[in-house]
Structure 1
Amino acid sequence: MAWLFKLGVALRLALYKTGYVKPKRVKAFTISVGNLTVGGTGKTPLVEYIARLLLSAGYRPSVISRGYGRRSHAPLVLVSDGARLHATVREAGDEPLLLARRLPGVIVAVGARRYAVARHLEEHFQPDVHVLDDAFQHLALERDLNLLLIDALDPFGDDALLPLGRLREPLSEIARASAVIVTRADHPFDQLALEARVRALAGPIPIFYSYHEIVELHAPLTGDRLPPQKLYGRRIGAFCAVGNPQLFQRDLAHYRARIALFRAFRDHHWYTRRDLARLFQEAEQAGAEWLVTTEKDWMRLESLALPERPQLYVARIEARLEDAEVFRSFLLRHLAQ
């Protein structure tokens, strides 16, 4: 299996590198945000961060996602026109719906053929910037800026392609990146070794450092909104269905929560009433005062009836960049060219 995957990746890359297959270009400036490894690297918070930055600079951005985990097979789903929502979580997927809710003023759409989606948005809504979510491997659409995310805690995917390692394509493809953003940079890692390897493969491209943090806890049943410091010393249960569940557990532990129960599901898992009943029962048996999950998970939970005890809190997570003004200047300078 490993050699078949390697052969398939090599052939696909060769088709584009030789010009036998050419990427298509759209009118609007196009920014890709993606990674080389499978699993969560914090793409969604960074896509939100970039979209907010573009809005604040006076641009009209769109976010285009493939919509992993959605139940709809429609070739194009308009999630938001920037003014109101047009799709459910089953039609859009959890991450696109979350971005649409968090980003008023931003057009959000879903479709496997990003070029067709981009052309549709340009025809009907006139965005001047497209942000492609998880599109480093989507070579069919030409981009003006290729932002590659590298997880500080798993930067090079065990140096092996799937299924032996965690790489989607060879490390040499880092050379396609316009810039690298190292995520989870608030955790201990070998920064010098990481930078040296990136420079060896990609030359003197900019390297930025980011991290994400819990900024708020929201209780859907009561409407209460609390700072994450309220986790301190509190006995909680937690669960999630994200790309890297251990990092959510670490985020909770950062605020000194006493985690009595932690359950991880496959990424984009569709929760059932039985799942929810079991989670609440186990949390209560473990003596948890609260049950905590992520906003991404809440997108797939909110249609289900919630037990009253323990209280469910949804953690809002946002990206932060070190040298944020330098990154802003880098982005806006490329847009102005």
Structure 2
Amino acid sequence: MVEFLAVWLAAVGSSPLILTRGYGGADEAKMLQRHLAGTPVKIGIGANRANTAACFLKRYGHISPCKHGDSDFEKRFSYNKQGNCSYSDQIGVAILDDGMQHISMWRDIEIVMVNAMIPWGNHQLIPLGPLREPLTALTRADIVVIHHADMVLTPFFFCISETTY
């Protein structure tokens, strides 16, 4: 989903920054770098994604979500890098990969992916099961995407969508 969103955002003129922790020798990050080579997508790898984001924003600057004007809000929150960074290189959006448990990081939208084949595993948290957080954390999600839904029986799919947490 991260790659899909980054490609789509780049295609509509944004320059996305993917922030990933880089688990397992950063294999996923290396794959993203291969797949997104030649695009305006930037990939920040590091355990402290807030620091990683700060480094990228300092280097590239970012496109303010509001037009530049005279309001106090715009003066305080419209940072653009000083220097030779072109407008197209400035970061337009940040995508936090696998970051729901990082609740201290502010976000506009929370998307959660659920695998229909093994939606909740054994309902146990890591290290006893696959869940990073209790199912109640899904209440913080704005969007829940159930992937591989075409590979399960319809009644089972409805059990997933009706899960109470």
TM-score by length of 2: 0.74
For residue 161 of structure 1, report the CA deviation from its aligned partner: 2.3
Local SS of the residue matching 1:180: strand
Q: Which residue of 1 aligns with 2:43?
A: 108
For each residue in 1:71-92, what CA deviation from the matched residue of structure 2 results, as whole angstroms up to 9, or x when unmatched? Answer: xxxxxxxxxxxxxxxxxxxxxx
Q: Which residue of 2 aligns with 1:249?
A: none
For each residue in 1:103-131, what CA deviation from the matched residue of structure 2 results, as whole angstroms up to 9, or x when unmatched? Answer: 12211110111111111111111312001
The ranges of structure 1 where at least 4 consecutive aligned residues each deviate by more than 6 angstroms after the TM superposition are none
For residue 139 of structure 1, report the CA deviation from its aligned partner: 2.0
Residues 1:121 and 2:56 aligned together: yes
Q: Distance in 2 between matches of 1:67 and 1:165?
A: 21
Local SS of the residue matching 1:123: helix
Q: Distance in 1 between matches of 2:34 and 2:124?
A: 37
Pick aligned residue for 2:2 from 16, 28, 47: 47
For residue 164 of structure 1, report the CA deviation from its aligned partner: 3.5
For residue 54 of structure 1, report the CA deviation from its aligned partner: 0.5
Q: Which amino acid aligns with 2:160?
A: L
Q: Which residue of 2 aligns with 1:96?
A: 29
Q: Which residue of 2 aligns with 1:69?
A: 24
How do 1:281-300 residues align onto structure 2 when only pairs under 5 Å count? none
Q: Which amino acid aligns with 2:33?
A: A
Q: Distance in 2 between matches of 1:163 and 1:65?
A: 21
Gaps of 5+ in 1: 1-45, 71-92, 202-337
For each residue in 1:18-54, what CA deviation from the matched residue of structure 2 results, as whole angstroms up to 9, or x when unmatched? Answer: xxxxxxxxxxxxxxxxxxxxxxxxxxxx111010110
Q: Which amino acid aligns with 2:126?
A: L
Q: Which amino acid aligns with 1:140?
A: S
For each residue in 1:197-255, what CA deviation from the matched residue of structure 2 results, as whole angstroms up to 9, or x when unmatched? Answer: 1xx44xxxxxxxxxxxxxxxxxxxxxxxxxxxxxxxxxxxxxxxxxxxxxxxxxxxxxx
Pick aligned residue for 1:151 from 92, 110, 115: 115
Q: Which amino acid aligns with 2:143?
A: A
Computed over aligned residues only, the root mean square deviation of the Cα atoms, in angstroms, reads 1.5
Q: Distance in 1 between matches of 2:122 and 2:28?
A: 27
C-alpha change, 1:187 and 1:171, in structure 2 (3 Å) is: same
Gaps of 5+ in 2: 62-90
The percentage of counterpart residues that share the same residue type is: 34
Asked which structure has the greater CA Rg, the reply is 1
C-alpha change, 1:112 and 1:162, in structure 2 (3 Å) is: closer
Q: Which amino acid aligns with 2:148?
A: R
Instruction: Tell whether the 8 Å contact from 1:115 to 1:140 is kept in structure 2 after alignment.
Output: no
Q: Which residue of 2 aligns with 1:268?
A: none
Residues 1:165 and 2:98 aligned together: no
